[in-house]
Amino acid sequence: MGKLQNKVAVVTGASKGIGASIAKHLAAEGASVVVNYASSKEGADKVVAEIKSAGGKAIAVHADVSKKADIDRLFAEMKKEYGKLDILVNNAGIYEFKAIEEITEEHIHKLFGLNLVGLILTSQESVKHFGTDGGSIINISSIASTLAPPTGSVYSATKAAVDTFALSLAKELGPKKIRVNNINPGMVETEGVHSAGIADSDWRKEVEKETPLQRIGQPQDIAPAAVFFASDDSAWITGESLVISGGYR
C-alpha cells in the first residue's frame, strides 16, 4: 500500500516541470491528485493520462492561481471530484531575472502576484478544506531565497517571503495538525528553465562547477521530498525549509 493511500492532493502548476513530477510521485503513492495548470491544457492532460495509465487517480483543473476567483474554483472542483483535501503543493511560480535598472512595476507585481500573493491566497483557501486529521502544505520555494543571485533581487525576495510566510503559518496551524514546509531547490532542468535560456547558459556551467554533486537537478530529484512532507514520515516536521541543490549553496 502506498504512503498516501486515500489522500487527496492539489498541486499548482503541475502541467510541466517540478509540479508535474510531484503530481506523478504523489499519485504513485496512492494520492488522488488535482493537476492544476494555467495555459498548458495539453501538458496537464498528459500528466493526468500518465497517472491514470499507471493505475492512479487524477483530474486536470485550469486556474490562474494568482487570482482569487480562480483559486476558489480550483478548490470547488477538487471538492466536487474528491470531497476533501489532505495535501496542498504550492508549486506554481515564475522566475525572471532583471538588473535593477530594468526592473518595472509590472515585473514586481507579476512575480509577487503569483509567487507570494497567489501562494498565500491558495494556502488560505486550503485551510477551509482540510479535515480534522489536518493536512500538509508544501511550498516550492527556491535556494534563491538565501543565495540571492545577482539580477534575481525581485525573484529572491518573493521566495524569501514564502519561507517566512511558512514559518509563521506553521506555528499558527500546528494546533490544527496542518503542517507547513518549504522545499528550496537549486537549479533544476525544467521546461521553464529551457524557455528562459538558462539550461544552455554559462550560468548553468558555473553552477555545475560549484556544485559538489557536479550537475543541476532534474524534477525527479525534487519530487520524493514532496512525498516525504506529504506523508506521515514527516509527522513531527513543520516550519522547515529543505534545500535540494546537489550541495550548491
**Nearer of residues 19 and 56 to ligand NAP, judged by Cβ:** 19
Taking the complex as a whole, the smallest distance from the CB of residue 164 to ligand NAP amounts, in Å, to 16
CA dist 228 → 83, 110, 138, 242 (Å): 23, 31, 10, 11
Q: Give the amino acid at 36.
A: N
Binding status of residue 227 toward ligand NAP by CB under 6 A? no
| Measured distance between the N- and C-terminal CA atoms of the chain, rounded to whole angstroms | 37
User: Given the rule CB under 6 A, which of 1-9, 85-93, 174-182, 205-213 is the region that contacts ligand NAP?
Assistant: 85-93
Given the residues 37, 82, 95, 155, select the one marked as catalytic. Answer: 155
Active site residue 95: no
**Is the Cβ of residue 127 or residue 199 nearer to ligand NAP in the bound state?**
199
Complex with ligand NAP: residue 10 or 38, whichever CB lies closer: 38
Encoded one letter per residue, x for contact with ligand NAP by CB under 6 A and - for no contact, window 43-62 reads x-------------------
- Specify whether the CB–CB gap between 192 and 158 falls below 8 A: no
Residue 119 backbone phi and psi in degrees, to 5: -65, -40
Please report which residue ranges of the chain form alpha helices under DSSP H: 17-28, 41-53, 68-82, 105-112, 119-127, 144-147, 153-173, 191-195, 202-210, 219-230
Q: Which residues are catalytic?
A: 155
Instruction: Note the residues at the interface with ligand NAP (CB under 6 A).
Output: 12-19, 36-40, 43, 64-66, 91-95, 114, 140, 142, 185, 187-188, 190-193
